[in-house]
A = this chain, B = another copy of it.
């Protein structure tokens, strides 16, 4: 049968990371490639209690069709929680999504026309590029430094439908934008009439001090904010949220309804039962402490083992180290040798909207215990030294 694909289907492609993750499922490989949180942090006991309570107290509501915007108490919780971080939004601005990945898809669906421009950090989150790509934008890479994208570099984004930013412990670089940089970016974006899409899955995973307030806290109706429960509770529940200005909200909501009617009400009620009484105030610090120790282990291992000419900065939160190798090393070409040596990583090139930057790679430190981190980094270092 001659199925004719839509033109946008050409922009759908297999994820490099998925292919790598398949390799790393082989026994004996230590994967520093994943973007998964540690399963040791999943609040299983709290989940058991919450699911039992929801199925006892409100099974008919939890298992029935529900509102596209999400479960009202959970939307109120999100609004209140963001208020404590300086982002003052009404519950009426919140849509609960099937993971924050779905927020990216909905934003793309509502805002991107074929050939329109979307401005992104370079490198940026691969999943965002994948969510936006089928809507056929041209990506513009905004140059930056260790503090984030450069305000003067936003001129290249003039006329873009939006600027996509991941300010906290960015995937893949681990970079956290400074407070001053956030303010400068918002000011420049406003001058340019450039809307901001702010994605914050990792903000709660700070190690020493919380990150500065979200850009959305000062951007007013110039920003959409995306959040997630994947890194503070568990990704297998697929719960995230979008906070949208009034002008955008109805279209995002209609797009949500068209996409899957609503996010599973059962999951929303269970998560609300877990978190309603301040559970995250006790729980998230345990994740921070665990990840901080593993960050320390990876920093020590990198310092001890990596050959000269490799550069990295220890992240102050999140899940990733970003390593720049000597210019002549191609991390993609080197990956099979690393896998032979028992260690996997993600080549950095995949995170750049226009490729290149072959001499970069991403390492996750959250799913592997400190001792194994040392062994794996030592193995990686031997492969790098041989190259």
Point out residues on A near B: beta carbons under 8 Å: 1-9, 12-15, 18, 35-37, 39, 42, 44, 47-48, 51-52, 55-56, 59-66, 68, 97-99, 101-102, 105, 109-113, 116, 127, 130-131, 133-135, 161, 190, 193, 195, 219-222, 230, 234-238, 245, 247-248, 250-251, 254-255, 257-267
This protein's copies in its complex? 2
Can you spell out 29 A-B residue pairs with CB atoms less than 8 angstroms apart? Answer: A1-B195, A3-B195, A3-B247, A6-B109, A6-B110, A9-B109, A9-B111, A12-B254, A15-B254, A37-B64, A42-B63, A44-B55, A44-B63, A47-B59, A51-B51, A52-B52, A62-B236, A63-B234, A63-B237, A134-B255, A234-B266, A236-B264, A237-B264, A238-B261, A238-B262, A238-B264, A260-B260, A264-B267, A266-B267
Whether B12 pairs with A36 at a CB distance below 8 angstroms is no
**Are the C-beta atoms of A6 and B59 separated by less than 8 Å?**
no
Q: Assuming the A-B contacts A55-B47, A250-B14, are A260 and B238 also in contact, with contact meaning beta carbons closer than 8 angstroms in the complex? A: yes
Q: Which 6 A-B pairs have the closest CB atoms?
A: A63-B234, A1-B222, A39-B60, A12-B254, A63-B236, A236-B265
CA distance A41 to B66 in the complex (A): 16
Please give, as numbers and ranges, the residues of chain B lying within 8 Å of A7 by CB-CB distance.
113
Name the residue among A9, A60, A116 with the largest chain B CB count within 10 angstroms: A9
Task: Give the docked Cα–Cα distance between A264 and B264 (Å).
Answer: 9
Q: List B contacts of A255 (CB < 8 A).
A: 9, 12, 134
Select which of B18, B36, B42, B258 is within 8 A of A134 by beta carbon.
B258
Is the CB–CB distance between A63 and B48 below 8 Å?
no
List 13 other contacts, CB 8 Å, given A44-B55, A98-B260.
Answer: A1-B190, A4-B116, A6-B135, A9-B109, A12-B258, A14-B250, A18-B68, A44-B59, A101-B260, A127-B258, A131-B259, A236-B266, A259-B259
Residues on B with beta carbons closer than 8 Å to the beta carbon of A112: 6
Checking B2, B51, B259 against A102 with a beta-carbon cut-off of 8 angstroms, the contacting residue is B259
By beta carbon, the residue of chain B nearest A65 is B235
Residues from chain B with Cβ under 8 Å of A220 in the complex: 1
Which residue of B44, B51, B245 contacts A3 across the interface (Cβ within 8 Å)?
A: B245
* In the complex, chain B residues whose CB is within 8 Å of the CB of A1: 190, 193, 195, 219-222, 245, 247
User: Is there contact, CB below 8 Å, between B36 and A60?
Assistant: no
Asked if A101 contacts B261 (CB within 8 A), the reply is yes
- The answer to whether A9 and B251 touch across the interface, beta carbons within 8 angstroms, is yes
Question: Which residue in B2, B55, B193, B261 is a CB contact (below 8 Å) of A99?
Answer: B261
Q: Is the beta-carbon distance between A111 and B63 smaller than 8 angstroms?
A: no
CB neighbours (8 Å) of A266 from chain B are 234, 236-237, 267
